Amino acid sequence: MSQADRIYHELERRIRSGELAPGTQIPFEQDLAQSHGCARATANKALARLAREGLIDRRRKAGSFVAQPVIRSAILNVPDMPTVVGSRGQSYGWQLLIGPLQDHPDTGSDADGESWLHWAGVHLADARPFAHELRWIACDTVPEVSTADFATEAPGTWLLRTLPWTQARHRVRAVAPSSAVRRALQVKAGAPCLQLERWTWRSERAVTYARFTFPGDKYDLDEAFAPGPMPARKD
Amino acid sequence: MSQADRIYHELERRIRSGELAPGTQIPFEQDLAQSHGCARATANKALARLAREGLIDRRRKAGSFVAQPVIRSAILNVPDMPTVVGSRGQSYGWQLLIGPLQDHPDTGSDADGESWLHWAGVHLADARPFAHELRWIACDTVPEVSTADFATEAPGTWLLRTLPWTQARHRVRAVAPSSAVRRALQVKAGAPCLQLERWTWRSERAVTYARFTFPGDKYDLDEAFAPGPMPARKD
DNA sequence: GAGTGGTCTAGACCACAAA
DNA sequence: TTGTGGTCTAGACCACTCC
């Protein structure tokens, strides 16, 4: 525990406990350094971290103030399928159902300029259906996909290995699955399912779009972060 | 854009683009400082940030290396109801259905030592049902709740004002709602719904538990973060 | 104008892990 | 044993903003 961490944790505790109400002014870097017997740069490091995590607002010449609290965001873990299944202590499997087909995820046709390939398959946990996946991959961004074989390996697994450090956007909703998906998942009509969509890109270029469908009773997104600092607000 | 930011962004770009593959060694702080014409502390700040965001691993005596990429997590925005409704350009409303009742969110009875109060109500968007809410509040942690009136204000709104800087844990799943919830939401039987659970505490003490149910076609969790750094891994 | 945060420096010491 | 990251210092300069 560094000195900067100590200053950070003391202030974090006093803010989270309500002892320092929103709007309250926090000691200047100079005073904080003096009262803790350290250099100003050390106090600055602690206050910069509090500001980065949204606990305080800092204004030149005015000082630092406890921020107005908001329910900002939560981290929902959305890992890849082998990880999900493995963390439940089950064996992972993959079964390709359809593909590759040539069509576009938005238009459904291959009319426009971009070239996409399209697959469907099922992720298995202990040899039983766990999630249905629809997958599109942009051939322009990932030319290697033309030589890939997704019969024994899911596209997501292959992509993670082939294109590291992509970025993603997610959407979650509840749906009544189509009959094709119901058959693949072996669920009854009317069974509510969780649908997770993921758009992935790399350096401003679309890489892939995936749509996962989980039986409602077999999966839930469970946010994992324990009591602690909220994620950094931005940059 | 500070000098440390420039070093950070250059390395971030080269890692995200794949130019620096996972496992690749990154220049030492000393060399990085020299090549950029700055002090080692400045290079250290940039590398510390890359490590905090999980892009590199750092080991004493060995150096810094590009980390193995994983789909780690996504930020799903889970704000409070007035914010959700307001951001859709709709007018927000609240209607209390039941409560306060005395029972415990886990046991359903009031037998054990803890004292909880319990409500049910509906959040409205343009005067139409938007979400059903079940709410428990721990009287021991929030004694002020005994004088609160949730006829015109939702418990969550009141709590946000009364107890700033709480912490929360969320879970999301797809469910078939109970008949009571279906009536409140005015949805047909068999309509899939998104259920969001939220546990809230403050300083290790349980504050409240809420269960929101949304009609599947009226709401989806949409993760908002644009291409950019992943949230800090931990601490 | 004055005082604050934001940033950087040049140097230092230590802990720790790799060689 | 050695070299790296981790941390801290004392001082400095600048930009911005509040008074």
Q: Confidence band (pLDDT; 50, 70, 90) for A17?
A: confident
| Cβ-based contacts of B229 with chain A (< 8 Å) | 232, 235
How many residue pairs bridge chain A and chain B with CB atoms within 8 Å of each other? Answer: 186
Q: pTM, whole model, 2 decimals?
A: 0.84
- Highest-scoring range by mean pLDDT, A95-109, A207-221, B5-19: B5-19
Cβ contact A78–B74 (<8 Å) = yes
Name the residue among A166, A169, A176 with its Cβ closest to that of B192: A176
Model confidence pLDDT, tens digit, residues B198-211 = 888 887 788 999 99
Q: Confidence band (pLDDT; 50, 70, 90) for A47?
A: very high
**Tokens for A115?**
């070239």
Distance from C-alpha of B56 to C-alpha of B66, rounded to nearest angstrom = 4
Nearest residue: Cα versus C1' of D15: A60
Query: Which residues lie near nucleic chain D, judged by CB under 7 A?
Result: A 2-5, 33, 37-42, 45, 59-62; B 28-30, 40-41, 44, 47-48, 51, 58-64
Model confidence pLDDT, tens digit, residues B25-79 = 999 999 999 999 999 999 999 999 999 888 999 999 999 999 988 765 566 666 7
What is the rounded average pLDDT of the residues A181-196? Answer: 91
Q: Confidence band (pLDDT; 50, 70, 90) for A39?
A: very high
Model confidence pLDDT, tens digit, residues B153-180 = 999 999 988 888 887 878 888 999 999 9
Q: Is the pLDDT of residue A61 over 60?
A: yes
Q: Of A8 and A166, which is predicted with more confidence?
A: A8
**How confident is the model at residue A20, as a pLDDT?**
92
> Does A227 contact B at CB distance below 8 Å?
yes
Taking the CA of residue A222 and the nearest CA in chain B, the distance in Å comes to 5
**How confident is the model at residue A98, as a pLDDT?**
93
CA–C1' distance B67–C6 (Å)?
30
**How confident is the model at residue A28, as a pLDDT?**
93
Model confidence pLDDT, tens digit, residues A87-128 = 888 999 999 999 799 888 776 666 667 789 999 999 999 999
Residue in B with minimal Cα distance to A216 = B174
Cβ contact A69–B223 (<8 Å) = no
**How confident is the model at residue A235, as a pLDDT?**
32
**How confident is the model at residue A202, as a pLDDT?**
85
**How confident is the model at residue A216, as a pLDDT?**
78
Which nucleotides of strand D come closer than 7 angstroms to any CB of the protein?
A: 2-12, 15-19
Cβ contact B73–A76 (<8 Å) = yes
| Cβ-based contacts of B192 with chain A (< 8 Å) | 174-176, 192-193, 216
**How confident is the model at residue A200, as a pLDDT?**
87
CA–C1' distance A33–D10 (Å)?
12
Q: What is the DSSP string of A43-67?
A: HHHHHHHHHHTTSEEEETTTEEEEP
What is the rounded average pLDDT of the residues A154-165? Answer: 90
Closest nt to residue B63, judged CA to C1': D4
Q: Is the pLDDT of residue A228 over 50?
A: no
> Does B82 contact A at CB distance below 8 Å?
no
Residue environment code for A122-137, b if the CB has 16+ CB neighbours within 10 A, otherwise e:
bbbbeeebbbbbbbbb
Residue environment code for B44-64, b if the CB has 16+ CB neighbours within 10 A, otherwise e:
bbbbbbbbbbbbbbbeeeeeb
> Does A168 contact B at CB distance below 8 Å?
yes
Residue in A with minimal Cα distance to B78 = A73
Q: Of A75 and B100, which is predicted with more confidence?
A: B100
**How confident is the model at residue B203, as a pLDDT?**
78
Residue in A with minimal Cα distance to B199 = A223
